[in-house]
Amino acid sequence: MSLLRERIKGDVIVDVRYPDTKTFQQVIDALSKIMDEANMYFTPEGVKVRGFDPAQTSYIDLYIPSTTFLEYNISSEDAKIGFNVTRLAGILKRGMKGDPLRITATYDRVLVEIEGIVYKRYSFPNIEIAEPEVKEPKFEHTVEATIISDPLKKILKDVEAFSNIMELEALESEGNPRLTIRAFTEDPTMGKMESHLTPESAAVISLEVRENANAKYDLAFIKAILNLTRIADSVELKFSDERPLELVFKTADDSRVRYITAPLKL
């Protein structure tokens, strides 16, 4: 504790150590595409961040279990850090893969230490963020697929080459489900691009279509969190006819990022 007092002054409410700065950075970087500021809650179960983008069209929910951390000490069951998300993402980019990360906070300050070959220390205010009550969005999806991350990322890059709108179409016929991901455009000169996925596709872990569905989404909102495919082996994709799209990224250590974005009305 004496060494901790030398690092930061005040009553310590959070003192945690995470095994890999790069993994943590990629999660915070995804948050930075959605939110400007956020409260990070430290509970006995783990770390939680959630909220909407300024336009209220996308929602993100982050959870990292406490068991993932090398050290996890909190002063109460609802300790929190208020922070500028872009600033923290920029700090964490200075770490390398495999560098342990320590976050220590008082009610007034946050100390971030990257324990790499070159030790780095950063400090910033623990800001008070007025946070409206966030009601967790819940949907009964009629289409659910689990797709290997890398092929899905490549499909979305192909979509981007033709359009900034992604169309999802799910059909089920005589027990044979099919999911089509295509570039939506009304301009015939742009050409066409579509990928068909079935339960037999090498990229598909599972696919269930309870009702046929079609929906279109702004690809920019999907790209915002696409880097999470670097830390998640697979992605859960869920939607219904003209309803929000839900993407769930899970890592090997049971961390989870849940992302929801509204459909386009064309």
Q: Report pLDDT for 226.
A: 87
Q: Where are the domains of the chain?
A: 2-125, 143-261
Measured CA to CA in angstroms, residue 91 lies from 22, 82, 111, 112, 225 at distances of: 11, 15, 11, 8, 19
What does the pLDDT look like over 233-255, one tens digit per residue?
A: 999 999 999 999 999 999 888 89
**Phi (first) and psi of residue 242, to 5 degrees:** 50, 40
44: CB partners within 8 A, 6+ apart: 66, 74, 77
Neighbours of 45 (CB within 10 A): 12
Cα angle for residues 251, 256, 259 (degrees, 5° grid): 125
- The tokens 């890999």 sit on which residue? 20
In this structure, are strands 46-52 and 37-42 parallel, antiparallel, or unpaired? antiparallel
Q: Report pLDDT for 5.
A: 44
The H-assigned helical ranges of the chain are 2-7, 21-32, 85-92, 149-160, 219-223
* Cβ contact 167:184 at 8 Å: yes
User: What pTM, to 2 d.p., does this model score?
Assistant: 0.90
In the three-class reduction of DSSP (H, G, I as helix; E, B as strand; rest coil), residue 102 is classed as strand
* Cβ contact 22:98 at 8 Å: yes
CATH topology identical between 2-125 and 143-261: yes
In this structure, are strands 109-115 and 119-125 parallel, antiparallel, or unpaired? antiparallel
Choose which CATH entry (3.70.10.10, 3.30.70.420, 3.40.50.300, 3.40.50.410) describes domain 2-125.
3.70.10.10
Can you tell me the distance from the alpha carbon of 146 to that of 203, in angstroms, rounded to the nearest whole number?
Answer: 9
pLDDT (tens, 9 = 90+) of the chain, 266 residues, equals: 334 445 666 789 999 999 999 999 999 999 999 999 999 999 999 999 998 888 889 999 999 999 999 999 999 887 999 999 999 999 999 999 999 999 999 999 999 999 999 999 999 999 999 877 767 788 999 999 999 999 999 999 999 999 999 999 999 988 899 999 999 988 777 778 999 999 999 999 999 999 999 999 999 999 888 889 888 999 999 999 999 999 999 988 889 999 999 999 87
Q: Report pLDDT for 7.
A: 64
* Cβ contact 142:240 at 8 Å: yes
Can you tell me the distance from the alpha carbon of 196 to that of 254, in angstroms, rounded to the nearest whole number?
Answer: 29
Can you tell me the distance from the alpha carbon of 130 to that of 93, in angstroms, rounded to the nearest whole number?
Answer: 27
Can you tell me the distance from the alpha carbon of 46 to that of 66, in angstroms, rounded to the nearest whole number?
Answer: 4
User: 143-261: which CATH topology?
Assistant: Proliferating Cell Nuclear Antigen (3.70.10)
For residue 225, the one-letter residue type is I
Q: Report pLDDT for 1.
A: 39
Phi-psi region for residue 242, left (φ > 0), alpha (ψ -120 to 50) or beta?
left
